[in-house]
Structure 1
Amino acid sequence: MDSSSDRLSPGTITAAVVVGLVILQVIRKFFNPPDPLDAIPSFRIPSYPFGFYVGSWNYVKNGRAITEEGYLKYPGKAFKVALANRWLVLLNGRTLIDDLRKADDSLSVAEATNSTLQLEHTMGHEQYHDPYQVAVIRSAMTRNVSACFPVIRSEVVAAFEDLVPAKDGNLDIPNPILLWLTSLVDWISVPAMQTILPIVSRVSNRFFIGLKCRDPDYIKITTQYALDVVSNSLWLHLMPSILRPTAMYLFGHLEPATRATMKLLGPLLQYRIDMDDQYGPDWPEGDRPNDMISWLLDEARGYPNRRTVRTMTRTLLNVNFGAIHTTTQGTLHALYNLAGNLQYVEPLREEVESVVRTEGWTKAAMGKLVKLDSFLKESARIVPGGAVALMRQVTKDFMFSDGIMVPAGTLIGVPILAEHHDEANYENADVFDPFRFSRMREKAGEGIKHQMVTPALDYLSFGIGRHACPGRFFAVNEQKLLLSHILLTYDFKLKDGVRPEDEWVAILGSANSTAELMFRKRQ
C-alpha cells in the first residue's frame, strides 16, 4: 500500500506549528499571572518575534548609547533593557536613586555582583558565601592607613624608580639649541597602563603582605587576576548554568591563579597562621606585622575554615581585584586628563609642595590636598568606569516611591554616566572642570563636603549609602599619593599630545590601554 497519502504536507505542519504557538500565547496571557515588569517601559526592543534577543544583542554592541538614550527619554523614571537572558531595570533621577539608597535587604549587592561577575566561579564558592574581607576593609584596613602611610610612601618611591627610571632634566644648559636637543634625549616613553598597573599592585600589596609585593611573579598574578575575573565572567554568561563549574575548572583562571599564588605565598601564610595560633595578636617583642594578613587572621579567629592557606590565598586575590582595578583606572584617567591639560600642573604642584612642606608625607597631608582631590573626583565624574553602576538584585518584591514594583529576581542599576553628565546635577556637565569641587568647598559651611570619598545622589562613583565601597578611603589616598609623587618628581606629557580615547565594551568603560606617557625627572 502507498503510504504517501498518510504523510503530512509541509503546509499542514507549518499550520499546526502556528496554531500551537497561538494556543501557547493564549494560555500564557490568560492563565499566567501578569508580569509586574510589563508596567516598566522597554527601550530599544523590537516588537517582532524574538525581538528580546535582538534587543539584547544590540545592547551588547551599543550599551552605552542605548543607556544614554533611555535616560533622556524617561527622565526621573525607570525603564528596562534586555540582557542575554533577563531584563535590566534602570533607575533615573535622584528620587529613585534615593529609594535604592534607603532600601533594606530587598535589594542585594552581593546577589547582583554574583549575577554580573559570576562570583562563585570567578572568585570562588567560599568568597561568594563568606566574603569576610569586607569587614576587614571597612574597619581594620581603613583605620591603619595613617599608621602604614610611611611604608606605603616608600613603596611608591621604589616602584617609580624601578618602572619609570627617567633621567634628570638638564635645564641649566645655556645654549638654547643644546638645551632643546638634550630635552629630547632626557624624555623616556612608557606604556601607561602596563606601567601604572604593576605600580599599583606593588603599592597596594606593600600594605597587604609586605615586601613580598615586589616579587615579579606575584605582580603578574595579581594584575592578570583583576583582568581575568571580568573576561571570564563574560564568556560564562553565554554558557548554560549547569556547565559553568566544569568549564571554569577546565578553562578558567581561578584554579591556576590559586595554585600559583599558594606556591609563592604558602610558606609565608602558613608561618603567619602558626604564629597566630600560638601567640594570637601579641607576638613576642611586638614583632607582629601590621598588614592585611594580620587583620584577616583577627577577623578569622574562631573560624577554622577561614584560617587555611588556600582560603587566605583566595581572599588576598579578591582583595587585590578590588584594590588594583579601581586605583589603576582612577590614576590613569587622572594622568591622561592632566597630561592633556598641562595648564593645571603648576597649581597642583604648588598645592602639593605647600602641604608636604608643612605636613610631610602623611595621610593628614593627603586630606589637605583639596585641589588634587577635586581633580581626581572630576576625572571620576567624567568617566566613572561604566555606563551603569549601583547594581542590585531584588531578593523580594520591592516597590519604589513612584509606585513601580519590581519582582524578586530582577536586576536593577543606575545609568551613572548619564547622571554624571546631567545638567540638572552639574553646570556645564560635559566640560572637564578640574577644580569644580574645590570651588564648592570654598563656600561657607562647605569645607568638608564634596570630597571624593563622600558619596552623594549626584556623585555615584563609589556607590551610595551603606553599600558604598568600603575601600574608597584607601583607594583615594593611594591615588593622591601616586599623583603627588609624579607631580613633584617628574615632568610628563602625552606622547602625541592628544588625550587618548577611553575604551568601551557595551556598558563597560576603561582608560586607554595602549597609550604612552613621556616622563623626565624634574631638576
Structure 2
Amino acid sequence: MDQFWRLVGPRSIAVASAFLLVTGVSVLWVFSSLYVTGLSTIPLIGDELGNAEQRRKGFISHAQKLYNMGYAKFKNRTWRLTGTDGDRIILPRHLLDDVGRMPDSHISIEKAIEKSNEIRYTGLGGTQGETEFLIHLIRSDLTHALNRINPRLEEEIAHATVEELGPCEDWTRAVIYQKMLRIVAVASGNIFIGPDLCRSEEWIVPAITYTVDLFTAIGKLKQWRWWTRPIGQYFIPEIESLHQHRRKAVEWLEPVVAKRRQMMEKKGYEAPDDMLQWMMNKGHEFNVSDNSLALIQLNLSLAAIHTTTLTTTLVLYDIVAQPGLVQELRNEVRTAMANHGDKLTTRALHDMRLLDSVMKESQRTNPVNLVRFIRIVEKPVTLSDGTYLPPGTHIESAHASILQDRNLYSNPETFDGHRFLNLRSGATPDPLQYKNKEQYQFVTATKDFMSFGYGRHACPGRFFAGNEIKLILARILVDYDFKMPDGLTERYANLNTGLDSLPDPTKALLFKRLNS
C-alpha cells in the first residue's frame, strides 16, 4: 500500500479526492436544484435558451445581450438570469440604497469577492484584518498623500514612458497594452515600495504576471461548472503559477523589510515615504506582522495595475480614433501645465476637465465589468418592494446596461468626449438632477455610474488611480503624436466574454515624439 501512494503521488491523490468530492456534490446539486428557494417567482431572462446548462453557456457567450434584454424589459423591477454559478438576481437602481443600508452580516461583499474571484482555488486575498488594514492605509495614508507624492509619480511616469516607448524619432509601433502594464507597474511601484526598488525586474515581472495569471485562472475556472472546479483547478497551470508568485514575493520582500527595521533603530534615519513604510509603521495597530506585508503588497499592486492599465488602454483606443479630440486634449494639458509652472501638479490635473470627461466617457462606453454592486445574501432579507431574498442569493446591478440608458444619456451608443464636461458645467440638461454637478467627475461613485462601486464599499483607491491615469495620458499627449497603424480609422473592438469587456491586448498604435 505504501508503494501505491508513492507511485500515484500527491497530485494524483488530490485529483482522486476531488473527484470523489465532485461526485458527492453533483448528486446533492441535482436534488437541491429541485428545491424551491423562493426565487422562482422573480422573472427569468434567457428562458428561451433552454435548461440551466444551456442558459449558462449562453451567458458565457453573450452575457451583455442578456443583460440588455433584461434591463429593457424590467429595469424598474427585480429580475434574474442564469450565470456561470447559478441564478443571479439583478436589482433596479432604486433598491440599491435599501441594500446599501443593510449590515455586512446580512449582505456580504466579502463573500461575493470570494465567489467571483474563486478565492478557494486562486488563493487571492488575506485575512479580514489584513483587508481592513489595506483599506485603512489607502484611505488614510495614500489618498491624503496625493499632493505630496504627485511630483515623484509624475517623474516616474515620465521616465517609464520614455523607457517603454523609446525615442520614437519616427513613427514607432507599440503594442500599447503591454507597454501600459510596465509603465503602470513601475509608476505604482514607486509609491508602493519606493523609487529604489520599483524599476527592478524582480518587482515589475511578478507584479505584472501575477495580475495576468490571476485573471486568466479565474476565466478558465468559470468555464467549469462550479461543482467540477475541485478537479478543474488541477488542469489550470496559472493556479500553480499564482502560488509560485506569492512564494517569490515573500522571498524578495522579506529582506527589504528586515533591512528597514534595522535602519529604523538608528538615530537620524529618514524613513522612506511609501506604502511599504506606512504598512510597517501601522501594522501593529491591526495585528498585521511583517511576514504578511509581501502578500498585501502583491494584492495592492494587482488592484492598481489591473484597473489603471485597462482604463488607460481603453482611453487611448477611444481618442486615437478621433484626431480632433486628441489635439483638443493636448491643448488643454499644455494650458493647464503653463498655468502651474509647466508641471503636472495636482492642481493642473484638476484643471483638465475635458480629459476627466473623456476618461469617464470611456468608462461609460467600455465598462470593463458588465455588473457592479455584487453581493451575497447571508441572512434572509425583504426589500422595500416586497422582494424576498433567501440566504445564498447572488445580487447585483446591471451596470453596463444602465450606462446605455437613453433616459440617462442622449445618443448613448456614441462616444462623446465632452459629455460629462457639459453635464458638469450645466451646458446640457442634467437628467439625474444632481444638486452637485461634481458628481459627474471621473472618480465619483454613484448608483447611476458604478465603475468604482457604490456606497461604503466603493473603491478606496479610485483617487490614486484617477490621478495616475491622468498623469500617464497627459504625459503621452504632450510628448507624443500617435495614430492607428496601416491606415486604420475605426476604434479597435473590445473582447467580450461572460461578464468581462476588455481592450484587445494585441493591438498596436504608432507613436512619434513631438518637438518641445
TM-score grouping bracket, smaller chain normalisation: 0.7 to 0.9
Partner in structure 2 of residue 467 of structure 1: 457
Offset at residue 307 of structure 1 (A): 1.9
Unaligned runs of 5+ in 2: 1-29, 428-434
Partner in structure 2 of residue 154 of structure 1: 155
2:194 to 210, 232, 240: 210
Unaligned runs of 5+ in 1: 1-23, 169-185
Partner in structure 1 of residue 45 of structure 2: 43
Offset at residue 120 of structure 1 (A): 4.4
Q: Which moved more, 1:108-117 or 1:489-498?
A: 489-498
1:316 to 282, 289, 297: 297
In 2: Cα distance, 1:231 partner to 1:42 partner = 30
Q: Aligned Cα RMSD in Å?
A: 2.6
Offset at residue 446 of structure 1 (A): 5.1
Partner in structure 2 of residue 507 of structure 1: 499
In 1: Cα distance, 2:416 partner to 2:482 partner = 20
In 2: Cα distance, 1:274 partner to 1:397 partner = 52
Q: SS state of the match for residue 54, structure 1?
A: helix
In structure 2, do the counterparts of structure 1 residues 449 and 56 end up closer, same or farther at CA, with 3 Å as the change threshold? Answer: closer
CA deviations on 1:345-395 (whole Å, 9 max, x unpaired) are 222122211111122321222122111111101101111102222211111
Is structure 2 residue 368 aligned with structure 1 residue 389? no
Partner in structure 2 of residue 361 of structure 1: 344
Offset at residue 490 of structure 1 (A): 0.5
Structure 2 counterpart of 1:194, one-letter code? Q
Partner in structure 2 of residue 307 of structure 1: 289
Offset at residue 242 of structure 1 (A): 5.7
Partner in structure 2 of residue 443 of structure 1: 426
In 1: Cα distance, 2:187 partner to 2:60 partner = 35
Partner in structure 2 of residue 294 of structure 1: 277
Q: For 1:142-291, list aligned pairs within 5 A.
A: 142-168=143-169, 186-211=170-195, 212-237=197-222, 238=224, 240=228, 251-275=239-263, 278=265, 284-285=267-268, 287-291=270-274
Offset at residue 286 of structure 1 (A): 5.3
Partner in structure 2 of residue 86 of structure 1: 86
Partner in structure 2 of residue 339 of structure 1: 320
In 2: Cα distance, 1:36 partner to 1:386 partner = 28
2:470 to 453, 467, 480: 480
Structure 1 counterpart of 2:290, one-letter code? T
Structure 2 counterpart of 1:448, one-letter code? E
Partner in structure 2 of residue 17 of structure 1: none
Q: Which has the larger radius of gyration?
A: 1
In 2: Cα distance, 1:351 partner to 1:249 partner = 47
Offset at residue 28 of structure 1 (A): 9.7
Offset at residue 262 of structure 1 (A): 2.7
Q: SS state of the match for residue 253, structure 1?
A: helix
Q: SS state of the match for residue 391, structure 1?
A: strand
Offset at residue 127 of structure 1 (A): 4.3
Corresponding residue pairs, total = 470
Q: SS state of the match for residue 213, structure 1?
A: coil
Structure 2 counterpart of 1:473, one-letter code? F
In 2: Cα distance, 1:156 partner to 1:47 partner = 49
Partner in structure 1 of residue 404 of structure 2: 421
In 1: Cα distance, 2:230 partner to 2:509 partner = 46
Offset at residue 271 of structure 1 (A): 1.8
Is structure 2 residue 142 aligned with structure 1 residue 141? yes
Q: Which moved more, 1:237-246 or 1:158-167?
A: 237-246
CA deviations on 1:70-126 (whole Å, 9 max, x unpaired) are 11121211211123442111123x312333333332221111010110224424463
In 1: Cα distance, 2:400 partner to 2:285 partner = 43
Structure 1 counterpart of 2:117, one-letter code? L
Q: Which moved more, 1:267-276 or 1:120-129?
A: 120-129
Partner in structure 2 of residue 67 of structure 1: 67
In 2: Cα distance, 1:250 partner to 1:452 partner = 33
Is structure 2 residue 377 aligned with structure 1 residue 375? no
Q: Which moved more, 1:467-476 or 1:69-78?
A: 69-78
Structure 2 counterpart of 1:189, one-letter code? R
Structure 2 counterpart of 1:307, one-letter code? S
Percent of aligned pairs with the same amino acid? 27
- Verify the 8 A CA contact 2:484 2:508 in the aligned structure 1: yes
Give the TM-score taking structure 1 as reference length.
0.84
- Verify the 8 A CA contact 2:70 2:79 in the aligned structure 1: yes
Q: Which moved more, 1:139-148 or 1:122-131?
A: 122-131
- Verify the 8 A CA contact 1:140 1:295 in the aligned structure 2: yes
In 2: Cα distance, 1:293 partner to 1:102 partner = 34
In 2: Cα distance, 1:346 partner to 1:141 partner = 33
In structure 2, do the counterparts of structure 1 residues 125 and 224 end up closer, same or farther at CA, with 3 Å as the change threshold? Answer: closer
In 2: Cα distance, 1:47 partner to 1:68 partner = 16
Give the TM-score taking structure 2 as reference length.
0.85
- Verify the 8 A CA contact 1:39 1:404 in the aligned structure 2: no
In 2: Cα distance, 1:274 partner to 1:415 partner = 51
Q: SS state of the match for residue 513, structure 1?
A: coil
In 2: Cα distance, 1:55 partner to 1:493 partner = 41
In 2: Cα distance, 1:198 partner to 1:409 partner = 39
Structure 2 counterpart of 1:216, one-letter code? E
Offset at residue 128 of structure 1 (A): 5.8
Q: Which moved more, 1:392-401 or 1:243-252?
A: 243-252
- Verify the 8 A CA contact 2:495 2:503 in the aligned structure 1: yes
In 1: Cα distance, 2:390 partner to 2:513 partner = 58
Q: SS state of the match for residue 268, structure 1?
A: helix
- Verify the 8 A CA contact 2:233 2:239 in the aligned structure 1: no
